[in-house]
Structure 1
Amino acid sequence: MKAKHSGPSGAFIGASWLALFIGTLTYSIGLWNATMALNEKGYYFTLLLYGLFAAISLQKSVRDKLEDIPVTGLYFGICWISIAAALLLLAAGLWNATLTSSEKGFYAMSYLLSLFASVAVQKNVRDLALFKPEFAETETTDLSAFK
């Protein structure tokens, strides 16, 4: 018997959004309360925004390739470089920061939680669009609306 796919469950959608909210909020609160200079706070906040964008963009590009939606090699490469750069810049910043080990761990873990959750949220958004009734009724495989 063939299993019927109905998209992501409400629990997974909620958990993904909650993880994204918790990760970004705790990272931001940590920066707000930190005793570092304002330019350092700006550096770490910019890394969060850059990392979130890079993770979402990479997830979308990988998914597009799996679904035979054209993705240029240049853009795909830039996505990988961007996520690697965001992680390396965070690691270098934390390595050289005058923070305690527990603070460094806090920033690293809340950052990684945020990136993972952003990928899960993006996946859910895309899956929900695919499983809407108006898409299920059509027999076309035109996915140009998802580009």
Structure 2
Amino acid sequence: MVQKTSNAFVAASWIALGAGTIGFIVGLARAEMLLNEKGYYFTVLMLGLFAVVSLQKSVRDRLENLPVTDMYYGICWFATLLSIVLLTVGLWNATILPSEKGFYAFAFLLAIFGAITVQKNTRDNMNFDQSK
């Protein structure tokens, strides 16, 4: 049975993506750190968002028996884990308050969760439209 994703879940997914991403970026803009540090964290966020969307698509393609090479699938996993490790190492060594470290960690996790669910909803609704 193919069902259309509820509007409430679609909205919640977009809100999670927006709140995490915008919160992370606003936190960076207001932070008292060097521009290269801000660039590092911004780049890690962008890598993480791209990696999880690509990973979710690859996992879904495999479940639907669409061809995905092992190399690409592995790169998706590697990039996802790398973004998490880079954020963790950066925050561990940062000279900011522990509360700021927690803020960035949770904003990052919220953003990547939102990106995964937005991608999932997009794919689900695309399949629903094609099954009519």
1:36 partnered with 2:33: yes
Using CA pairs under 8 Å that are at least 6 residues apart, name the structure with larger relative contact order, 1 or 2: 2
Moved segments of 4+, more than 2 Å? none
Matching residue of 2:114: 117
Structure 1: stretches of 5+ with no match in the other structure: 138-147
Paired residues in the alignment total 132
- What is the CA–CA distance in structure 1 between the aligned matches of 2:131 and 2:71, rounded to whole Å? 33
1:136 partnered with 2:123: no
Query: Which protein has the larger Cα radius of gyration, Structure 1 or Structure 2?
Result: 1
Query: Which secondary structure state, in structure 2, belongs to the residue aligned with residue 82 of structure 1?
Result: helix
Matching residue of 2:72: 75
Query: Which secondary structure state, in structure 2, belongs to the residue aligned with residue 71 of structure 1?
Result: coil
- Equivalences for residues 7-46 of structure 1 within 5 A: 7-46=4-43
1:60 partnered with 2:57: yes
Structure 2: stretches of 5+ with no match in the other structure: none
Give the letter aligned to residue 57 of structure 1: S
**How many angstroms does 1:7 deviate by?**
1.7
Pairwise CA RMSD? 0.8
Q: Normalising by the residue count of structure 2, what TM-score does the alignment of the two structures yield?
A: 0.97
Between Structure 1 and Structure 2, the one with more helix by share is: 2
